[in-house]
Amino acid sequence: MAYVKWSRYLLPTWKEEPAEAEIPSHKLMLRAGLIRKVASGIYEFLPFGYRALRKVERIVREEMDSIGALEMKLPVLQPEELWRRTGRWEDFGPEMFKLTDRKGQGFALGPTHEEIITELASREISSWRDLPLTLYQIGEKYRDEIRPRFGVMRAREFLMKDAYSFHTSWESLEETYNDMYKAYYRAFLRCGLKIKVVEAPTGVMGGNVSHEFMAVAETGEDEIALCSSCGYAANRQIAHARPPSPPRVEERPLELVETPGVRTVEELVEFLGVSPSQVVKTFIYVGRGGPMAVLVRGDHELEETKLLQAVGDPTLRRVDDPDEVEGIAGAPFGFLGPIGLRIPVLADEAVRDIPAAVVGGNREGYHYVGAKPGRDFAVERYLDLRRVQEGDPCGHCGAPLRIRRGIEVGQIFQLGTKYSEALGATFLDRDGSEKPVIMGCYGIGVSRILGAVIEQHHDDQGIIWPVEIAPFHVVIPVLRPDMGEQMELSERLAEALDGAGMEALLDDRDRSPGEKFHDAKLIGVPLMIVVGPRALKRGEVEVERRRDGAKTSLPADPASVVEGVRELLRAESI
Ligand code: ATP
Ligand code: MG
């Protein structure tokens, strides 16, 4: 007897909305007894939640195996020394959990495994004959997130599938990258997710080409820019739009004007009677190469990811302490401008074409008007640094871009040789020359998928599980478990379903029928078979579909129920 009796199971449900949760999936995961919180960003999976997690894991594993990736297991504890060799002991920053052993050796709880796997590759791969090779694991990752939230969505301990591929050529990397792309898409589809694949920033991983798999959801933390005309889709942080036309103003000579107490773009617009597109905002950043100034138009926002990516320095940070700004630029905060600055200046491309700009005067209470880029101040590099807005013209075809929200459930990267060079992972090529291995890496947020699925599949009564990852296929509320006949029939049905490979949860708890129906909706199992007096009297059971409440009557004998339920589940699966 492998079916589950609720009275003997740990599946505690909550009637009340938990105050600790903000979004539907987090609330429902708590209320439907999937998870419990231990500390900020650290969760237990209770048996019901763990069943779903294991199914997600199984789908991901099957898809990885199907493209020839080899499953293995890497340690969570990783030596500091390895991370020093790639420079990421610093680059990863305070997100890494760091600790020291009794001998004083530094370690980290792995937030990701490029260092470990590349060091492994440096030992185990020696010849072109060993390549290509793709390895993967499914295991815990640790990241000391600034803001853990939304339950398993942004946790500090979470389950990830991470894969790494090794190649002799970029063509070979691209082949595996494309296989991964398709395998990812299939895995998410099987989990029941609606996905948008977008061009993605590479951040602290490095490399050039990267895609993110976004589960479309209002509550997602990421923003994506989409073009419905040409299909362009990108993470908003790197999305490219055509530069807008310059403000229609006449060129004029540079002039320093008094602007007492006028600091913000809005105040300048008011005070000088100019348009925000004529104003240029100046920011100070410091990184490894020292300080720099960054310019964007007054009606635009600076997209920091684009700046970090262009400069290639993940330690770059904005200086917003007025004293520190004054120390670096020699100018008061709020009156900062590019004219006469003795640090490098980068600017968004839309700044280049302003015929007469308003910029800070680098003196308390003054601004320049009529400033012309190139004539009055030098710009080292013009870049796309602007945050795209809804309706901006698509960088490829000019049609208006839409902005939507999504949950990043996976990301894939073409890394190149960043790690193999740093850690000496080389191979002997056919011609006898030694070359660094070319790498890709590929992550899936296995535990985050559960949150994303529930975010996309729920109603005001509870979860609506897609069949493939549902913790159970059928719930059987027994209206009067104290009545022998009802229990007997329910047990016979549950047993028969189980024997036919369908997972049944028998609700034999000592609760009212109302509570049982309520909980059945809440936990969201795809089908419900009600066993009550009617079933016995008429020899018929009613199967109710969670998704839409559709009801089907079946003869109350085990064989008919097995057949009927199998049909209904088949119609639900992808
Ligand atoms: P994010 O931008 O959301 O912080 P990331 O880009 O840092 O994620 P990756 O390094 O690409 O994450 O990790 C691979 C996958 O692991 C992500 O696509 C995501 O699904 C998942 N993931 C990352 N951070 C977390 C977290 N704190 N909690 C749960 N899942 C996470
Ligand atoms: Mg990512």
Please report the DSSP string for 365-428 in residue order. Answer: TEEEEEE-BTTTB--SEEE--BPP-TTPBBTTT-PBEEEEEEEEEEEEEEEETHHHHHHT-EEE
Confidence class of residue 534 from pLDDT cuts 50, 70 and 90?
A: confident
Sheet holding 77-79, edge to edge: 77-79, 106-109, 97-100
Ligand minimally distant from the alpha carbon of residue 155:
1
* 255-258 and 438-445 strand pairing: unpaired
The protein residue with its alpha carbon nearest to ligand 1, atom 6, reads 411
pLDDT tens readout for residues 467-486? 999 999 999 999 999 999 99
pLDDT for position 172 = 98
The H or E element spanning position 160 is strand 157-167
pLDDT for position 208 = 82
The H or E element spanning position 440 is strand 438-445
Contact between 368 and 284 under an 8 Å Cβ cutoff? The reply is no
Question: How far apart are the two ends of the chain, measured CA to CA in Å?
Answer: 29
Ligand 1: residue of 408, 441, 446 to mutate (most ligand atoms within 8 A of CB) is 408
Summary mean pLDDT of the chain: 96
Atom of ligand 1 nearest to the CA of 410: 18
| Architecture of domain 472-573 in this structure | 3-Layer(aba) Sandwich (3.40)
Which residues touch 12 (CB under 8 Å, ≥6 apart)? 33, 46
Q: Which residues pair with 134 in a beta bridge?
A: 165
Whether the per-residue pLDDT at 315 is higher than 90: the answer is no
Three-state SS at 219: coil
Which residues touch 268 (CB under 8 Å, ≥6 apart)? 259, 262, 274, 279, 298, 358, 367
CA dist 387 → 276, 281, 283, 380, 396 (Å): 16, 14, 15, 21, 16
The protein residue with its alpha carbon nearest to ligand 1, atom 13, reads 443
Q: What CA–CA distance (Å, rounded) separates 1 from 11?
A: 19
Whether the per-residue pLDDT at 91 is higher than 80: the answer is yes
Cα 125 to averaged position of ligand 1 atoms, centre (Å): 29
Cα 145 to averaged position of ligand 2 atoms, centre (Å): 13
pLDDT tens readout for residues 366-404? 999 999 999 999 999 999 999 999 999 999 999 999 999
Residue 201: closest CA among 114, 285, 314, 290 = 314
Cα 445 to averaged position of ligand 1 atoms, centre (Å): 6
| Helices 558-572 and 484-499: angle between axes, nearest 10 degrees | 50
The CATH H-level (homologous superfamily) assignment of domain 24-240+403-454 is: Bira Bifunctional Protein; Domain 2 (3.30.930.10)
Rounded-to-10 torsion of CA 167, 173, 175, 178: 140
Q: Tell me the domain boundaries of the chain.
A: 24-240+403-454, 255-383, 472-573
Question: For 228, phi and psi rounded to 5 degrees?
Answer: -80, -10
Cα 410 to averaged position of ligand 2 atoms, centre (Å): 7
Confidence class of residue 149 from pLDDT cuts 50, 70 and 90?
A: very high
Sign of CA dihedral 405, 411, 415, 418: positive
Tell whether ligand 1 has an atom less than 6 A from the beta carbon of residue 112: yes
Average pLDDT over residues 220-231: 97
> How does 510-535 read in b/e, with b if 16+ C-beta sit within 10 Å?
eeeeeebbebbbbbbbbbbbbbbeeb
Tell whether ligand 1 has an atom less than 6 A from the beta carbon of residue 161: no
Question: Tell me, which fold does domain 255-383 have in CATH?
Answer: YbaK protein (3.90.960)
pLDDT for position 316 = 92
The protein residue with its alpha carbon nearest to ligand 1, atom 27, reads 154
Tell whether ligand 1 has an atom less than 6 A from the beta carbon of residue 442: no
Write down the pTM of the prediction.
0.94
Whether the per-residue pLDDT at 1 is higher than 60: the answer is no
Ligand minimally distant from the alpha carbon of residue 410:
1
Protein residues placing their CB within 5 Å of the ion ligand 2? 411
Tell whether ligand 1 has an atom less than 6 A from the beta carbon of residue 448: yes
3-state helix, strand, coil in the chain (%, to 5): 30, 30, 35
pLDDT for position 333 = 87
Contact between 306 and 338 under an 8 Å Cβ cutoff? The reply is no
Cα 134 to averaged position of ligand 2 atoms, centre (Å): 19
Tell whether ligand 1 has an atom less than 6 A from the beta carbon of residue 445: yes
Which residues touch 437 (CB under 8 Å, ≥6 apart)? 121, 125, 131, 166, 167, 168, 417, 420, 425, 426, 427
Q: Which residues pair with 79 in a beta bridge?
A: 107
Ligand minimally distant from the alpha carbon of residue 449:
1
